[in-house]
Chains A and B, each alone.
Chain A
């Protein structure tokens, strides 16, 4: 295992959303006791169906949401439950997020130049507007939008989805972050553009030693991008391992179903709902209702983590029972 200090570490993080509908409060656990670590220069993919809690995990890392319980450790420091002041600003500079939908991630009333100059000015990366302007051009070039000067004056609606996503990437690079959350950055793009964006991100990782959480529901994309893959189901991590190892021997029944869907080329995978509900997870395996290998112990006891190979762990009774 890599011995360098983790950039970010989630320790037993749970996130509960309280939905208030006409008086009655309904709780949704979007994350349950999630443990996760990302090291500098490492890409960790978070894979799972729609509603499994991937974006919530990303939002917590990006500092847009706060955990209901558990702690977030950033470069060795346990963060307070609510960051504020200089510490918050510092965190915002060092941790950035790229969103899924390039059409809603840029403000329709601001120019591309404005989007890029703001982070530069907020974090005093650029001392003046003139310097910021210069730097903004450099950022556009770095993400392959040329001639950069032409783009600065444009409004978001004048760009294509791929160009917008590049602007989104240029913006997060403005503050020279150490950690990047990429929340399904290619899923809304044409297939022909996806590889370009993935290569751009990998290139940046190589050049800047960025740590990255790459969120996706596409296992092949995860394989291409990530050093490690974590599989999430109903707010819980059910399997994790080095990309090659995990994909060559998927162990958790859920991962196996995801793999089968992939080889049979079932594209509608993300449409299978995996509702997270009030019922507490302490009542056995969360996948039990859909699992083809369900045993009696599965519905009564929470499975333990079992190591199936070097750097490959799975949270399932099939493995903890046999070992």
Chain B
């Protein structure tokens, strides 16, 4: 089919809607700052090999040096360049949060939509599972599970976090599915013979784009903070270079006590900024789609 095909696949439809939303997201100041920050981090992660002054693992520099022109953020107690570590650390931190966000979103969407659409016993089972996971103290659970798995990889950690954080998304998506299901266009699709799968993913899901996106970014935010906390506690892979592991080694070397701010402050700031980027995008989407929050004005 030619590009000017008058019919649209659902993906094209969703994309068109995304583009329309997009033209409204950009004027939104919060979302704009959030997207800008996120892009900056992505750029940093991609260009790490080019920007980074030294190898992040090289240990031959003077030990525990303060900032100097040669080492803008000083060196660690084992003689590594902290700035290089910070730049290289962007990659895993970004990776793990986006992976967690994606896994959580997929699970939340699948469970939320199925529960809302199928109702009856399937809904009740799914919602029971949701409620159980919802009341579990998730951060404790994450800590417990990851301490059983020695040196858990980032992907494992992503799965553990996703396991405990999908219910929030699943609940709102279920509620929205119930709402959309009563709309005539869903009834019309059913009446024209669409099956459950098509109704769920081609009729209902594209209408929840903003909800799903907001859920995704919220989980990313949660993941950034959680993963950093885990690594700070020495769980997960602390020998890989990441913001959390920099914090772990800084703490291990009493950086706070000796006042080596150049060691513990930058990674903390990076975690905060990436978290802020996700939070701002999330707020932005909320404001654009929730009329009650939308500000008056051009």
Q: What bracket does the count of chain A residues touching chain B fall in?
A: 35 or more
Residues of A within 8 A of B191 (CB): 62-64, 92, 96-97
How would residues 10 to 22 of chain B score, 1 for a CB under 8 Å from any chain A CB and 0 otherwise?
Answer: 1001101100000
Ranked 9 nearest A-B pairs via Cβ: A152-B6, A105-B184, A153-B6, A92-B193, A113-B7, A119-B192, A109-B206, A99-B184, A109-B13
Say how far A32's CB is from chain B's closest CB, in angstroms: 23
Residues of A within 8 A of B183 (CB): 104
A89 within 8 A of B: yes
Say how far B263's CB is from chain A's closest CB, in angstroms: 50
Say how far A132's CB is from chain B's closest CB, in angstroms: 8
Q: A228 CA to B135 CA in the complex, in Å? A: 58
Q: A152 CA to B6 CA in the complex, in Å? A: 6
Q: A119 CA to B13 CA in the complex, in Å? A: 17
A18 within 8 A of B: no
Residues of A within 8 A of B10 (CB): 109-110, 114
B8 within 8 A of A: yes
| 15 contacting pairs across A/B (C-beta < 8 A) | A64-B187, A92-B192, A96-B191, A101-B184, A104-B183, A105-B188, A106-B188, A107-B206, A108-B17, A108-B207, A109-B13, A111-B7, A119-B193, A129-B7, A168-B188
Which residue in A100, A101, A122, A152 is a CB contact (below 8 Å) of B192? A122
Q: A113 CA to B203 CA in the complex, in Å? A: 15
Q: Is the interface of B mostly helix, strand, loop or mixed?
A: helix
Q: Which of A63, A93, A104, A123 has the most CB of B within 10 A?
A: A104
Say how far B208's CB is from chain A's closest CB, in angstroms: 10
How would residues 125 to 152 of chain A score, 1 for a CB under 8 Å from any chain B CB and 0 otherwise?
Answer: 0000100110010000000000001001
Q: A63 CA to B13 CA in the complex, in Å? A: 28
Asked if A113 and B192 make an inter-chain contact with CB atoms under 8 angstroms apart, the answer reads: no
Q: What bracket does the count of chain B residues touching chain A fall in?
A: 20 to 34
Say how far A152's CB is from chain B's closest CB, in angstroms: 4
B185 within 8 A of A: yes
* Extra A-B contacts (6), CB below 8 Å, given A62-B191, A97-B188: A64-B187, A99-B187, A99-B188, A106-B185, A109-B13, A175-B192
Residues of A within 8 A of B9 (CB): 114
Residues of A within 8 A of B17 (CB): 108-109
Q: Which residue of chain B has the shortest Cβ distance to A99 in the bound complex?
A: B184
A16 within 8 A of B: no
Say how far A165's CB is from chain B's closest CB, in angstroms: 12
Q: Which residue of chain B has the shortest Cβ distance to A89 in the bound complex?
A: B193
